[in-house]
Structure 1
Amino acid sequence: MSALQDKVIAVAGASGPAGQATMRRLAAGGAVVIGADIDQQRLDAAIAGVRTAVPTARISGQVIDLLDPQEVHDWADHLEAEHGHVDGLLHLVGGWRGSKTFRDTRLDDWDFLHDTVVRTLQHTSLAFQPALLRSEAGRYAIVSASAAHKPTGGGAAYAAAKAASEAWTLAMAHSFLKETTAEDGVPTAAAVILVIKALLSPEMRAEKPEAKFTGFTDTADLADNLADLWARPAAELNGQHLWLTAR
């Protein structure tokens, strides 16, 4: 039986290329998938795409404003009440802003990334942490970037946002270790950071079939790595950086 079978997994950022690939992979593995996005039309299209690709998919969608903390908390509570458990939140909300040089950096780029990347992560992690602690296999994952570890002058805002996201996720990992309810003290929940250079979608490859996209991570490979989180022990994963590109 698949490690994903009957796991209840929420995917934030469902309509993006990573979200769609991940929902397809989770559904194919037998998970109950709940996709969230702020745009109803894009969300409906993403859900329909999964159902077409995986006819047996158990999938639903929820329009959520991830910048509204109460709305996110209510969503987490509703999912646990409806399904009896929540086993995962995959935070696939992203965005990129940058400039040619450090001195050209616009602080409104930081404001955008702070909300899109950092604030949404804060809201989902705080809302879902209690349920993931109660799960027998709770997983929280974010997708970070190698830029957080080797910032460039023009990428200051983006690198800082990703670095902040990593620190926040590591703090969540520490909470899983310290607050575990397991009798043996071994955590059953894990917070994990997947590190990429950039994502490569099928659309990108189709537009530039001759391009090499060196170091990029295919969305299908990202989805496989995310799905694999439930096949590995929480203690092995918690607080880890999983590098999907060269360091």
Structure 2
Amino acid sequence: MAGNGALSGAVIAVAGAGGPAGRAALLRLAEAGATVVGADNDPERLAEAVDAARYASGGASVTGEPVDLLDLGSTRDWAEHIEKDFGRVDGLVHLVGGWRGSETFIKSSLDDWDFLELLLIRTVQHTSLAFYEGLQRSDRGRYVLISAAGATKPSAGNASYAAAKAAAEAWTLALADAFRKAGGAGGPTSAATILVVKALVHEAMRADRPNAKFAGFTHVQDLAEAIAGVWDKPAAEVNGNRLWLTEKP
């Protein structure tokens, strides 16, 4: 197991671990003492992210494997062997993302919807179904979805993206209700929660656009800090709640 941080002994899976937000999350969770298991559909990008987190965190327990999150069987296999290998699973952080939009509402492409429905909704369905029982067995299970403010206040050109994010949020809130009901009179012991951002920014973006303000954007390191902080709060406090990291629209 990992070190002596606040998450020492915890086993946390990160879906979409190869991107900038995934890299930041792998590192922050490892620094907090967790054993971290990343997944991504790009093996090379995932390997780079895992190696970077191991190096930066001083050799913490960070592993990764390619997983097809669009296949429920593959996602269930991933969840099951994490619990088998490490004896428990205490979290699933869902960082699978992507964006497509249009200039106007009338120019919205339903091809974009088909793409985003798979990427932003189907992967949430599969990870939540695959990890539910393991998270419920944990005494500090957490399912963490990263969402966007646009799901609350959609813009005309972002109809498909906002609708997909809103659907993913609704599915996650249904998961939260399942945790609430499973907890009975004593309240939930596991939780599903949503972290809401306007958009994300990382250092490479700032370097590419040095004059951009990125107003309201959340830095991936701040997001990672908020992700780790979900385990600091009681399950009942975060279960079924949206935690805003940007101004509410």
The TM-score normalised by the length of structure 1 is 0.97
Distance 2:6 2:142 in 1: 12
- Corresponding residue for residue 32 of structure 1: 35
8 A contact 1:147–1:197 mirrored in 2: yes
Structure 1 residue matching 2:69: 3-state secondary structure: coil
8 A contact 2:5–2:31 mirrored in 1: no
8 A contact 1:33–1:58 mirrored in 2: yes
- Which one of the candidate residues 42, 47, 53 is aligned to 1:44? 47
- Corresponding residue for residue 111 of structure 2: 108
**Aligned-partner residue type, residue 193 of structure 2:** V
Query: How far is 1:212 from its partner?
Result: 1.0
Q: Which runs of 5+ in 2 are unaligned?
A: none
- Corresponding residue for residue 194 of structure 2: 193
Structure 2 residue matching 1:62: 3-state secondary structure: strand
Structure 1 residue matching 2:145: 3-state secondary structure: strand
Distance 2:8 2:233 in 1: 14
Distance 1:53 1:82 in 2: 24
Q: Which runs of 5+ in 1 are unaligned?
A: none
8 A contact 1:133–1:180 mirrored in 2: no
Distance 2:5 2:242 in 1: 24
Distance 2:83 2:54 in 1: 23
- Corresponding residue for residue 81 of structure 2: 78
Question: 54-63 or 82-91: which moved more?
Answer: 54-63
Distance 2:209 2:42 in 1: 28
- Which one of the candidate residues 165, 174, 184 is aligned to 2:177? 174
1:109-137: CA deviation from partner (whole Å, max 9, x where unpaired): 00000000100010000000010000010
User: What's the RMSD between the two structures over aligned residues?
Assistant: 1.0
- Corresponding residue for residue 202 of structure 1: 203
Distance 1:102 1:85 in 2: 46
Distance 1:75 1:23 in 2: 17
Query: How far is 1:52 from its partner?
Result: 1.8
The TM-score normalised by the length of structure 2 is 0.96
Stretches (4+) displaced over 6 A: none
Say how many residue pairs are matched. Answer: 245
